[in-house]
Amino acid sequence: MQYILSNIFSIGAATIAGLIILFFRFRYQLKGATIAAATLALFWLAAILAGALILAPVDAGPWTVALGSAFIIWIGFVLPALSIALNLRGHPWSISLADATWWLAIMLTQAAVLHSIGLTKPISVGSVVSSDATPRA
């Protein structure tokens, strides 16, 4: 959780970017408690994405890592969960795909904002101890 505090500005900016896209798509349906819940959910999504970007291997270019991480999280978690949930409620696949595409746009935008502003890795709290109790640096 320390990385969230270290990157609160970047995560907050990504949350606002996500809200802008969400308002564009659902402008007439967002009211009161729904806006609060959406803001909290978008903040958490940006925080998880920031953590993934901090931990991501840098074998590829930085933009590839940023946008690729968002896409992998979307295709691995958001798309299946959203598609099944909406289809179980009787929505056609086309609606599920359209809504999932909006979430992909939000995640890619958040990744771009996080990468553009930059993220700070948390300061290590102590040394990591291996299973044989030999400290490692």
88-125 per-position pLDDT tens digit:
999 998 888 889 999 999 999 999 999 999 888 877 64
d(CA 43, CA 110): 10
Q: Answer yes or no: are the C-beta atoms of 129 and 25 closer than 8 Å.
A: no
| CA 66 remoteness from chain centre | 11
d(CA 89, CA 14): 30
Predicted confidence band of residue 46 (pLDDT cuts 50, 70, 90): very high
pLDDT > 70? residue 85: yes
Q: Answer yes or no: are the C-beta atoms of 114 and 14 closer than 8 Å.
A: yes
d(CA 54, CA 92): 37
* pLDDT at residue number 34: 81
What is the tens place of the pLDDT at every residue in 120-132? 887 764 433 334 4
**At a CB cut-off of 8 Å and minimum separation 6, what does 132 contact?**
none
Is the pTM higher than 0.85? The answer reads no
